[in-house]
Structure formats: structure tokens, C-alpha cells
Amino acid sequence: MVIAPLRRKVLRDLGRLWPQVLAIALVLAAGVATMILGNGAYASLSETRARYYADYRFADVFADLTRAPLALLGDVAAIDGVLQAEARIVKLGRPEFPDMVEPASILLVSLPVNPDAGLNRLHLRQGRLPEPLASDEIVVSEGFAAAHRLQPGTTVPVVMNGKRRDLVVTGIALSPEFIYALGPGEMMPDPRRFGIAWLPRATLEAAYDLDGAFSNLVLRLAPGASETRVIEALDRLTAPYGGLGATGRSEQTSHAFLDAELKQLGAMVKVLPPIFLLVAAMLLHMTLSRLVALEREQIGLLKALGYRPGSIAGHYLEFVLCIAVIGCLIGFVAGAWLGAGMAQLYARFFSFPFLVFTRDPQIYVLAAAITVAAATGGALQTVRAVLRLAPAVAMAPPAPADFRRRTGWAARLVPLRQTGRMIARHLLRWPMRSLSSIMGVAMAVAILVASLWSFGSIDHMIDITFSRAERQDVRIAFVGAEPASAVQDVRRMPGVMAAEPFRVVGARLSHGARSKRLAIEGRPADARLSRALSPDLVPMAMPGAGLILSEALAKALDVARGDLVTVEFLEGRRSLSHLPVSGISVGYVGLGAAMEIGALNRVMGEGALISGVNVSLDPAGQDAFFAAARQAPKTGFMNVTDLTVSRFRQTLAENITVMITVYVTLAGIIAVGVVYNFSRIALSEQGRELASLRVLGFTQAEVSGVILGELAVVVLVAQPLGWLIGHGIGLAMVAAFSSDLYRVPFVMGREVYATASLIVIAAALLSAIAVRGRINRLDMIAVLKTRE
Amino acid sequence: MPDDPDIVIRASGLTKVYRNGPVEVHALRGVDFAAVRGEFVVILGPSGSGKSTFLNILGGLDSASAGRVQFRDHDLTELDERGLTQYRRDHVGFVFQFYNLVPSLTALENVALVTEIARNPMNPADALDLVGLSARQDHFPAQLSGGEQQRVAIARAIAKRPELLFCDEPTGALDSTTGVRVLEALTEVNRAIGATTLVITHNAAIREIADRTLRFADGRIVETTVNTTRKRPDQVSW
């Protein structure tokens, strides 16, 4: 067994170089962990969703309408491509909890006669479904039940169509339709203020005067059926009954938010692991090259002794593979642990009856294979050099490092002291190594820049949306359209300081082949509460006739100011108009289109109607206002800006610590790994020179300055590069994450760069301190006597 | 000689014991020594006789277990790490067996490395001139022969105008002809700047160029020879 001593050497090398080995293994582990976490979470989320959808027959097409006779269902089911159609009554009610001052709403959904055969089947967590003939029984969504401590048997007073009913909870359930349960007009799920209740249709028929009629359709399509064609056919059928236009899953709120989450995960998997693996490959290359340079004579000796070049090259490859294995193992554990944490986060955010956290061995095998490939890739050049080294050449001492080429111009950097020249020339002597170390540190900065900017951007988004655009304290949406005089009723409520009406009309906007379904909002010309803002954040006056579109919508429709868009109103007379785009406004949530309320009402031709009122409140009168607003029969639901914002911030705050910890750790691992390895190698190469300088009377600080000076150059040059790369990643993220649901403003402030740099510089300083200890312990006596 | 005001360095009762686990190695066993300004001393002795330890302690690189070392009226044995560094920086020049030039600096820059931190240095070019290497001042170590590198090292050691110049086997890595060139450089700078020069060597031929030769054995000076007439380096060979 000739190989055994070499294998022992591998183990000893690993032990001897353990800090460097660990630093590299951690960078690899970060790559493996993010790969497993990202892929695992992606697979977990998409598989969970897919299985949930399949098992519980999640519908493919959704449509709301005002009122249609049940007889229409037969026609709907007969549309080519429709596998199953279900007519439901879906209405918004208002729960009344004695301990709750702020407004809440509950979505009331009728249950099919045979719930097991229906679409969007419920997953009962507790209790049972209501008896079909029981008029006061409901099943409530789990989050809502938990937020209000509802149990089977608890009574919930719900105002339905202005009448208060006491409903008894018989069960607690989940539905694939509300995995992400977002209340109307809200930005984040808040299970305290929004829940879902399922109840026999008879109860809803009676409450909403919908005997033999329905207000909502859900459809399942046959495999391969064209969603577009079905929707077109369905819209034709429902139009006479107040159909608001059907949508596919992609516009179903819960589904779309899950899609956005999956999109983000997919982006993370594409960006993070490659960064870590590249940096690790570079570190391995650096470390192995130095190891081989130091062991040149041993390699020559081994070859002279008759070891085959292959075995010797294999020995170094084994060293690298051991590091890869250590990295994989740490990465597996960290990835699995983080994955479990991510699953918990999902469980809190999304309502799934089960979570498939795939511990798919394929992901692990793939991660290991990629890691080993990256590590081997990093080692390849050095291993080839080992193969090529002739024994006689290897056993002679290496020629002194030749600084003539490449570095000559550095001598012309006149103001440098000699130690400065040493730093400059050493960096320039190995430009690839210096550059790749700079890139490595820059990546650490970039990861931070690309993650930290989002916080400022969210603040910006909140500031713009709620301090400048939507300045009302409360937005009351009526159950249906009301005469314009309704604003006077609201104005008379206690605590109201200002009230402005709005009108919301569902419409389909199209321009050429592009079309979007959304709600056009009519506002007073001189609105002071809910306003449109121009891109330079100046409030825009509502134009006399045209539309103001949000940037996102203008982009989606590919229109600019002055273009004409076709507006097909989905309510009232369902008229078709061609309206000019009078302006483009900023907006981060949803697709927005606004008009002057009078102009909108003129186009609609139904007289002066309003859908609700925006209100600014005297804080002292808030509770009295809520009480009065709740009592008003017109009130559909209310959005309270403070609650929306605080819920938004609270949800972010819950994730922010986790996110910051994860990204700072990841960046720290890269920064420490690169800086530590770089300085250890610089020290290994220059240790003898530095010890000589100590003998010549240089102080410890002066000698450390040579290595730390090199480090400082690498770390400092890396900063602007890191800012630039991080900025680029941030821009790519904005593009990747933007959807019809929300857009993220790109706000990159100096404080983001500063924070990222400070964190990376702190990590670099820690590594520098570790290396400084070694510099201080340089053996001065040895250099007098020994050759390198 | 004990009270000679020209005495630059003096050691008395110098003892050094290395502990290697349970084993005690006595590298120096009570060495007394003094050298005057400008003196050229050659130290001979077999490996392990204590001559390098002696030079290291005098040079402020190592500390004695017992005894005293005085540089002029300063007691080296009382100095801490910082004080010893300052002592080396201001007063001592070293020449190494393997030159130990900084490969990333040219000959001139290697010399300037030291003059930049010295109190009263020579012009680096003058120091190189003194060892006959003016023409090679812009060459990097990789472009210089071993002998040339060693002469740059000597120029670097003396450019600060040290009172003491310590050389450990300065010709050990060189052939005879090149070695002679290096010795010429050493005697030349010894004469020019008046530095007290201590040269460790295995090469007995070199003693003939010295004022005084010490022979070390078993941690002691066992023989001191004073040359009444010094030979020139080109008169010796090995």
C-alpha cells in the first residue's frame, strides 16, 4: 500500500491548515446550504401547493357577478373545456366582537350541497361541516379562529346585509382558495381583521335575497382546455348578470402571492449558490497553489522515489475533496436546519393543511456534485502543475520570485515608501489572485447591498403610498354603489374631519393586443386625501376626461401619455369607451387607474354614484367613528391606514431579523473566508521577508502593516465594486419581483452601501486580527539561518 | 580594556539555557566579551558551540538566561521587545547567510527600506557604491548573483551607519571568489563607517582578515587570538 502514507499526509495537512480549511469549507457550506434551502423550499412550496390543489380540487377559473339564476349554471358547465362548474354565493360580512374596536370583515362563502364533491374543498382541522339545513352554522378559517380563539361551539355575531346574525362555529378549516388570505384593500394578511366563513347556501340566499341565484362561479377545466377561450365564453354568459370578468389562477390573489414567493425563491437559487461556489473554487485554487509551491521539493522527492505523478496529483485532489466533503456536510446540516425554519415561516404565512418539506435526496446529491465539481475546478490547474513538475526541477529550490515583469511600473509610484512598494508589487505580481480576492470581497459587499436595500425601499414605499398618496385615515367601501349624497351621511359621523367620495368600477383596459382587468377609481378633481402622484411625487389633479394610469399599468399596456386606451366597463351598462391617457402616476400596489369621479359617472351613465368615502379622522373621535360606521347599513368594509401600515411593518419586522442575520452571516462567511485565506497566503509567501525586516529593526506594527496593507487595498478596492454588483443585483431583483400585485421601488441609498461596507470591513478586521497574531510570532532567528 | 571608553558592546557572564521538555541545553555557559569601536572580530566554532546564540543575544534577537549585555551604557538585558527592536533599528546591522533581500524591491529600494526608518542614514546609492554595486541598483534580487545579493545585503545593513554589524555565515552560501568579494565589501565598510563587526563563520581562512578571532566550544570562548597584522581579503582563499 504505497498510498497510505500520502493519505496520512492529507489528514495531517487538513489538521495543520485547519483555519484555512474551515474558512473554505464554510464558504462551500454556504453555497450548499443556500442551494438546498432554496431548491428545497421551492420544491416544498410548489409541491405542497400542487398536491393541495389536486387533493382539494382547487378551481381553475373564478368569476364574480351581481346576481344570476342558478339555471345559468347548466350553460356554464356546457362550455367547451369545463370539467366542473360550481355556483356559489360569496359575500362580505362583518363580524362583531365586543372586544374589537377596529373594523374587521369576514368573507362568507356558500358550501355546495355535497361539499365532498365540490371545488375548493375544505380541509377540516376541527369539528364538522355545518348541517345543510342548519341556518346558523358556520365553518371558519383557521387563522381567524386562532386570532379570536374560536372553537366549535363558539358563537360569532356577523352582520350580513345589514342584519346581525349569531352564527355558531361547527368547525375550523382551511381552503386551497385562501392559502394567502388577504382582506379587501389590505397589503398583508391579518387574520384578526379578515377571515373566511363557509356556510350552507340557504343561509346566504336568505340573508342576501339571492333565492335561486348565485354571485360567484368557480370552474375546473379539462386537461388541455384553453383557459382564455373558456373565460371569453364565460364572460359572454355572465355579462347580462353583472359579470365582472372571469380570471384564471394567475389573477387569483392567494395563488398569485404564492407565485410571487416562488419567483423570489427561484431567483435566490439562481444568484446565491453560484456566488459561494465561485468564491470557494477561487479560495481552493489559491490555497492549493501555495501548498504545492511549499511542497515542491517533497513532490520532486516523491516522484524520484517512484510515486506515479497520478498518485501525487490524486493526493492533492484528495485534500481538496476532503474540504468539499466537509463543506457539503456542514451545508447539508445548515440547509436542512434553515429549511425547517423556512417551513415554519411558510406555515405562519401561508395556510396549508400539510407541508411537503422534500428531503429529496436528489437535491442533496446535486448539491454535492456541484460542490465537488466547483472544488475540483478550483484545484485543476494546480493539480495539472503537479503532474507536469519534473523531479529534478522540483527538488532544486524555486527561482526567486521575479518582479521584473508586470510590476515595473509600480516603481514609478514615487510617493510610496518601500513597504508600500512591497505591497503594490506583491499585489501586481499575482494579478489574478489579487483580482479574484477583490472579487470575493466585492461579492460579500454585493450580497449585503442586494439584501439591505429592500428595507429602505419598503420605507419609501410606505411613505409614498400612505403619507403622500393615500392620506385618508379610513376608507369605507359601501356594500354597493350609493347616491353621491351618501358622503354627507359619513361627514356627519363623529370624529370625521374631512370626507371625500370615491367610485370604483371594474373594467377591462386594452391597448392593441394587451389587456388588463382592474378597477378604475373615480376621485374628486381636487382630492386631498386619496391622490395620484406624478413620478416626481407631485400630487396630480384629476383630468377632466382622461385616465391616470399607474406606471406598472402603463408599462403592462405599453401606453404613454396621450395614447388612447379602450375601456370596457364591466358594470352597469357595460359601455365601451376610448379614453386618453392623461398622465402616469407612481404606485406600488396593484395596477391602478384613476379618473375624475364626475367624468367616470358620466361615462357610466348611471347618475352621480359613489362606492365609498375616504375619511380623515380626529384621533380622539376614532372609536366613536368606528362604532357609528359599523352601525351604518351601507358600510361594506373599512380599511384603516394605521392598521394596514402597522400590520405591514409588523410582518416585515418578524422577518427582518431573520433576513438580516442570514445575509450578514453569508456575507461574513465570504469576507472572512477570502480575507483570512488571502492574508495567510500572503504571510506564507512573505513571512521570511517580514521576519528579516523585524531583525532589521522594523516594529511589529510596521511589519504587520505590509500584510494588512495588502489586505486593506484588496478590501477597499472591493467596496465600490461590491456596491456596483450589489446595485446590479438589486435592479435585477426589482425586475424579477415586480408583478401585477406589487412593485418594489428601487431606492438605493448611501446608507445601504455604508452598512454593507461596514459589515464586510468588520469581518475583514476580525480575520486581520487573527493573522496579526501570527505576524507577531514570526521567528526572527530562523530566518538568519534557513533558506526558504 | 575593561574600562576602555571605546568599548561598544560588552557581555559578562552570559548564559543561555534552552529548555526542551525535561532536557536542558546549555547553549552559553558564562561568556565574557567586549569589543571596541571599529574592531573586526571573527567567531569560529563547530555547530552547536553557541556562537549563533551569542550573536543573537548581542544583536537583540534573543534574551539571555543570566548575565548582562551592555551596549555603550545601555543594559540590553533590561530591554523589552519594543526596546530591543529600537536597539536593532538604531544601532545594529545584520547580514544573513541567505541574504534575505525583499524580492519585490530593487537593490536600491532594499537599501532604502532601511534608510527610511533610520535616524542618520547614508544615501542608499552611496551605500551601494561602497559595496561596488552602483551599476546594479535598479535590478531586482532575481536578476542578481548570490554574491551581488549578499553585497546588497551588506549595503542594506550598513546604510543606517550602525555601531554594530553582525554577520552570520555571510559567505556560507558562496564560492571562494564570490566570497572574497563579499569579504572585501565587509572590510571596506568596516573601515569606512567604523562599525564594530562580528562575523560568524565555519571558514577558518577568514580569521586572517580579522583583528581578533574567538573560538567557541561547548558554550564558552575557548581561545582568543589577536592578529597583529590583518590580511586583505584577496590574500585569503578556501
pLDDT tens-digit profile of A199-257?
A: 999 999 999 999 999 999 999 999 999 999 999 999 999 999 989 889 999 989 999 88
What is the average per-residue pLDDT within A491-519? 93
Cα–Cα distance, A628 to A495 (Å, whole number): 10
Interface test with A, best of B90, B102, B145 (most A CBs within 10 A): B102
For A76-130, write each residue's pLDDT tens digit: 999 999 999 999 999 999 998 988 888 899 999 999 988 888 999 999 999 999 9
Within 8 A by CB and 6+ apart from B78, the residues are none
A76: left (phi over 0), alpha (psi -120 to 50) or beta: alpha
Report the interhelical angle of A18-55 vs A4-16 (nearest 10°): 90
**Using CB atoms, which residue from B88, B109, B173 is nearest to A695?**
B88
Predicted pLDDT at A383: 87
**Using CB atoms, which residue from A401, A692, A781 is nearest to B62?**
A781
Cell 587570538 sits on residue: B225
Q: Is B184 on the interface with A (CB under 8 A)?
A: no
- Does the pLDDT value for residue A494 go beyond 80? yes
Average pLDDT, chain A: 89
Query: Domain segments of chain A: what residues?
Result: 1-61+255-399, 62-254, 416-470+643-788, 496-617
Torsion on CA atoms A153, A154, A157, A158, rounded to nearest 10: -70
Sheet holding A247-248, edge to edge: A82-88, A213-221, A61-69, A247-248
Residue B167 near residue B198 (C-beta atoms within 8 A): yes
pLDDT category of residue A303 using cuts at 50, 70 and 90 = confident
Within 8 A by CB and 6+ apart from A280, the residues are A24, A27, A28, A31, A327, A371, A374, A375, A378, A673
For A152-185, write each residue's pLDDT tens digit: 999 999 999 888 899 999 999 999 999 999 998 8
Predicted pLDDT at A760: 94
DSSP of B150-172, one letter per residue?
HHHHHHHHHTT--SEEEEESTTT
SS3 category, A749: coil
Predicted pLDDT at A786: 66
Q: Is B62 on the interface with A (CB under 8 A)?
A: yes
Residue B216 near residue B194 (C-beta atoms within 8 A): no
Angle (nearest 5°) at CA B63 between A775 and B58: 105
Instruction: Please compute, for residue B182, the number of CA atoms within 13 A of its CA located in the half-sphere on the CB side.
Output: 31
Q: Is A293 on the interface with B (CB under 8 A)?
A: no
Low-confidence residues of chain B: pLDDT under 70: 1-3
Predicted pLDDT at B70: 94
Report DSSP state, residue A525: T
Q: Is A786 on the interface with B (CB under 8 A)?
A: yes
Cα dist from B149 to A66, A137, B95, B163, whole Å: 97, 99, 11, 23
Residue bearing the bigger pLDDT, A399 or A676: A676
| Nearest chain B CA: its distance from A399 CA (Å) | 8
* Cell representation of residue A427: 499585489
| Nearest chain B CA: its distance from A400 CA (Å) | 6
Residue A118 near residue A57 (C-beta atoms within 8 A): yes
Checking DSSP bridges between strand B40-44 and strand B196-200, what pairing results, if any? parallel
Least confident of A323-327, A446-450, A612-616, A736-740: A736-740
Q: Which amino acid is located at B30 in the chain? A: G
Instruction: Please compute, for residue A57, the number of CA atoms within 13 A of its CA located in the half-sphere on the CB side.
Output: 17
A87: left (phi over 0), alpha (psi -120 to 50) or beta: beta
Checking DSSP bridges between strand B7-20 and strand B66-71, what pairing results, if any? antiparallel
Predicted pLDDT at A406: 56
Checking DSSP bridges between strand A593-596 and strand A547-550, what pairing results, if any? antiparallel
B112: chain A residues, CB-CB within 8 Å: 418
**Using CB atoms, which residue from B106, B116, B143 is nearest to A411?**
B106
Cell 375616504 sits on residue: A614
Q: Is B145 on the interface with A (CB under 8 A)?
A: no
CA end-to-end span of chain B, whole Å? 33
| Nearest chain B CA: its distance from A345 CA (Å) | 55
Q: Is A777 on the interface with B (CB under 8 A)?
A: no
Residue A645: closest CA among A589, A585, A586, A584: A589
Torsion on CA atoms A323, A329, A330, A336, rounded to nearest 10: 150
pLDDT category of residue A738 using cuts at 50, 70 and 90 = confident
- Does the pLDDT value for residue A412 go beyond 70? no
Report the interhelical angle of A18-55 vs A253-294 (nearest 10°): 160
* Cell representation of residue A453: 436595500
Burial A675-692 (b: 16+ CB within 10 A, else e): bbbbbbbbbbbbbbbbbb
Cell 361551539 sits on residue: A153
Interface test with B, best of A421, A696, A700, A783 (most B CBs within 10 A): A696
Residue A27: closest CA among A447, A435, A523: A447
Q: State which H helix or E strand residue A209 sits in.
A: none
- Does the pLDDT value for residue A761 go beyond 60? yes
B67: left (phi over 0), alpha (psi -120 to 50) or beta: left
Cα dist from A424 to A403, A413, A414, B101, whole Å: 11, 9, 12, 17
Residue A450 near residue A730 (C-beta atoms within 8 A): yes
Q: B161: domain CATH number?
A: 3.40.50.300
- Does the pLDDT value for residue A3 go beyond 80? no
B191 is in which domain, residue-wise? 7-235
For A528-575, write each residue's pLDDT tens digit: 999 999 988 899 988 888 999 999 899 999 999 999 999 999 888 888
Predicted pLDDT at A1: 45
Torsion on CA atoms A213, A217, A222, A223, rounded to nearest 10: -170
DSSP of A732-745, one letter per residue?
HHHHHH--SSB---
B2 domain residue, yes or no: no
Q: Per the structure, how many domains does chain B have? A: 1
Q: Do A417 and B98 touch (CB under 8 A)?
A: no
Q: Do A784 and B56 touch (CB under 8 A)?
A: yes
Within 8 A by CB and 6+ apart from A415, the residues are none
Residue B197 near residue B40 (C-beta atoms within 8 A): yes
Please, where are the H alpha helices in B39-145? 51-58, 81-91, 107-115, 124-130
Checking DSSP bridges between strand A90-95 and strand A564-569, what pairing results, if any? unpaired
B109: chain A residues, CB-CB within 8 Å: 411, 418, 421
B25 domain residue, yes or no: yes
Cβ-based neighbour number of residue A539 at 10 Å: 15
Please, where are the H alpha helices in A571-640? 597-604, 622-631
Residue B168 near residue A785 (C-beta atoms within 8 A): yes
Predicted pLDDT at A2: 47
| Nearest chain A CA: its distance from B58 CA (Å) | 12
pLDDT category of residue A475 using cuts at 50, 70 and 90 = very high
Cα dist from A269 to A266, A302, A572, A615, whole Å: 5, 44, 47, 45
Cα–Cα distance, A374 to A380 (Å, whole number): 10
Within 8 A by CB and 6+ apart from A78, the residues are none
B1 domain residue, yes or no: no
Cα–Cα distance, A8 to A437 (Å, whole number): 31
